[in-house]
Structure 1
């Protein structure tokens, strides 16, 4: 697959890049995508949910009623789960939700996600650019020139650039990541994948 390289003004540079078919033109495995995205979302959960049992709630040391003669059921503690303000029976306790996915499945899922975006024409290659100072306005202008001002966009860079990261962090529709760190979920969660030209080599080294 071949794509034309655009400049930051949104016009063609005259250069054409060839995308590898095994990464951007592979058969889409929906099952691999499902497994990877499910694991990513599960691993984000904190798992800190907790409710108190009858041994942990406050009070309840004294027997609330005498054993016999009241006509009510026997009560040994006012913190019984049967009473208002009592503990919880089999309530949630802290635990992890971590799920493991094989490395080959994760690679297949990321290739499938990129292939799906490429098939839909949602991958844009832009020439490499940098900023001298942290400034949001020129970054927003670049997105406007590329027709991405109102589209949820994932920008893939060859390496971490602090100035680029900070310049774009206040743009609501933009997510900036290095090409080797973008997950299947990040790719699919965006409407358009904007790739810096040098980041294509990083993608090929990571997923090839």
Structure 2
């Protein structure tokens, strides 16, 4: 699996557009914020005084007790009463325009290419042995937060990689900006270049 460093000239030859270092920073921030917001379930829920258990009976008479005036025991000032302005189920999801997504991808890819963190290989296929997978990857990059991107992987390669915590397999059409930001090294299989060119165009 001879690998070579992927350069900006290689990206240009493959029609992969890379953003300049001073462009796309806000796009990356907006997209990562949207990823994280979209993972929130928004299921936090508290009960109001109309939803907590209890009846509407006045806890004691209005006058003559020396105490403050009160109605039922479900009022927010009582233990077990309702919650005022508490969390309610809501949708946290954010929509990001396609143009912003493309700009963010171009910016992150550009930064990784300029850092020399992207290497290309003609193909990537493992016989199903984790030991073989580790040997193939560590021969090219440091075994720390490695992202391997291809157009597709066979089942044996997935089996070989599933117990390796510092490496992840991603197809070119499902790759996202957050995964690229998390990786220290990228191994890019040549059959993924066409897909990435379409996604950055």
Range of TM-score over shorter length = 0.7 to 0.9
**Match for residue 54 of structure 1?**
49
For residues 194 and 52 of structure 2, the distance between their equivalents in structure 1, rounded to whole angstroms, comes to: 58
Deviates more, 1:157-166 or 1:32-41: 157-166
Shift of 1:201: 2.3
For residues 60 and 168 of structure 1, the distance between their equivalents in structure 2, rounded to whole angstroms, comes to: 59
**Match for residue 10 of structure 2?**
18
How many residues align structurally? 195
Q: Secondary structure at the match of 1:125?
A: strand
When normalised by structure 2's length, the TM-score is: 0.86
Equivalence map 1:106-125=2 (5 Å): 106-125=101-120
Residue 155 of structure 1 pairs with residue 148 of structure 2 = yes
**Match for residue 194 of structure 1?**
187
Structure showing greater relative contact order (alpha-carbon pairs closer than 8 Å, 6 or more residues apart): 2
Mapped contact 2:3–2:140 kept (Cα < 8 A): no
**Match for residue 142 of structure 1?**
136
Q: 1:24 to 1:115 in 2, by over 3 A?
A: farther
- Consecutive unaligned residues of structure 2, counting only runs of 5 or more, are none
Mapped contact 1:23–1:114 kept (Cα < 8 A): no
- Consecutive unaligned residues of structure 1, counting only runs of 5 or more, are 1-6
Mapped contact 2:38–2:94 kept (Cα < 8 A): yes
Mapped contact 1:23–1:115 kept (Cα < 8 A): no
For residues 45 and 141 of structure 2, the distance between their equivalents in structure 1, rounded to whole angstroms, comes to: 47
Shift of 1:122: 1.1
When normalised by structure 1's length, the TM-score is: 0.83
